[in-house]
Amino acid sequence: MNEILQYTVQGLAAGSFYALAALGLAIIFGVLGVVNFAHGACYMLGAFAAAVLMDLVGLNFWLALIVVPVLMFFFGVLLERLLVSRLTALDPLYNFLLTFGLSLLLVDLVKREYGVSGQPYTRPEILGGQLTLGALRLPTYQVFVLVFSLLVCLGVWLLMTRTRIGMIVRASTEKSELTRALGIDVNRWVTPVFGFGIALAGLAGVLAAPFRAITADMGSSFIIILFAVVVIGGLGSIVGAVVAGFLVGLVEAFGQAYAPTLSQIVIFVLMAVVILIRPAGLFGREENA
């Protein structure tokens, strides 16, 4: 029982990374219709930015949680203005290809500059050690990651449901033709939304920095799992992305605990089953299947 609880928390903590990044992916897809293949590379850039800024200017973890997403936001804005916007009028596959090329470029640029070995990173002392709850003992940092990303997801949800901007974004995500037909100018929000999605990927990267190896390739397998996450959740669904993110984290943790060699296959089997039963994903709408 104790172990099951332990695996649950660990799974949810691992799922936090997927949920945050998938949320960004879903928002970008919703408003732009673009599946950002470079999302894994952006996650990697977030972790690298945290490590490099710590090395250069001594930026600590807490500040990095704010500074890096802001930087990534502007990076996203730049990307959208310079590249992505040129292709949004065309078949979305073009932007899928564009961002695929972009991920090759970004990963190898980072490799060229910083090599392939991991970057060092020190987390704040206060997040070290373990929290003990009865017989349950968990690394403080994992608990922090879980709580923090739940708060961020909640914040994004409030932003989406309680503000005008959010309404527009949500409406265009879930019923884009209708939104446009109502004469709401979605286009004004395209660039900041793209930036925001990239910032979320960057934030996931910062959270990963103390806990995972910071290498140029850290996003390469991450993005593939992320695709499975959004397919399971339903591409157009913001809630779906978050729920599926945590779900995949759990599946991974329990898979690792009870069928370690199959744990990676299980995620994709889950995805295949979802496609079979609900082609639009768990939270997607059937009519767009």
Contact between 269 and other proteins by CB under 8 A: the answer reads: yes
Contact between 142 and other proteins by CB under 8 A: the answer reads: yes
Contact between 185 and other proteins by CB under 8 A: the answer reads: no
Contact between 103 and other proteins by CB under 8 A: the answer reads: yes
When binding is defined by CB under 8 A, the residue of 81, 175, 189, 192 that contacts other proteins is: 175
Cα 128 from Cα 243, distance rounded (Å):
28
Nearer to other proteins, 133 or 154 (CB): 133
What's the closest the beta carbon of residue 33 comes to other proteins, in angstroms? 4
> Please, what sign has the CA dihedral across residues 169, 174, 177, 183?
negative
What's the closest the beta carbon of residue 231 comes to other proteins, in angstroms? 6
How many other CB atoms are there within 10 angstroms of residue 100's CB atom? Answer: 16
Contact between 135 and other proteins by CB under 8 A: the answer reads: no
Q: Angle 41-17-233 (CA atoms, 0-180°, nearest 5)?
A: 95
Footprint of other proteins on 37-76 (CB under 8 A) = none
Cα 132 from Cα 150, distance rounded (Å):
21
Cα first-last separation, the chain: 40
Find the Cα–Cα–Cα–Cα dihedral 228, 142, 28, 180, rounded to 10°. Answer: 110
Burial call 238-251: b when 16+ CB within 10 Å, e when fewer: bbbbbbbbbbbbbb
What's the closest the beta carbon of residue 196 comes to other proteins, in angstroms? 18
When binding is defined by CB under 8 A, the residue of 66, 120, 162, 188 that contacts other proteins is: 120
Footprint of other proteins on 6-25 (CB under 8 A) = 6-7, 10-11, 13-14
Contact between 252 and other proteins by CB under 8 A: the answer reads: yes
Stretch in the footprint of other proteins (CB under 8 A) among 155-163, 196-204, 239-247, 281-289: 281-289
Grouping H, G, I as helix, E, B as strand and the rest as coil, residue 116 is coil
Please count the residues of this chain forming the interface with other proteins, following the rule CB under 8 A.
91
When binding is defined by CB under 8 A, the residue of 70, 129, 151, 162 that contacts other proteins is: 129
How many other CB atoms are there within 10 angstroms of residue 7's CB atom? Answer: 17
Length of the chain: 289
Nearer to other proteins, 199 or 209 (CB): 209
Q: 209 to each of 2, 47, 195, 203, how far by Cα in Å?
A: 28, 5, 21, 10
Contact between 78 and other proteins by CB under 8 A: the answer reads: no
Contact between 149 and other proteins by CB under 8 A: the answer reads: no
Cα 269 from Cα 283, distance rounded (Å):
18
Nearer to other proteins, 179 or 191 (CB): 179
Contact between 147 and other proteins by CB under 8 A: the answer reads: no
When binding is defined by CB under 8 A, the residue of 66, 108, 147, 158 that contacts other proteins is: 108
Contact between 253 and other proteins by CB under 8 A: the answer reads: yes
For residue 258, how many C-alpha atoms fall within 13 Å in the half-sphere facing its CB? Answer: 10
Contact between 125 and other proteins by CB under 8 A: the answer reads: no
Contact between 163 and other proteins by CB under 8 A: the answer reads: no
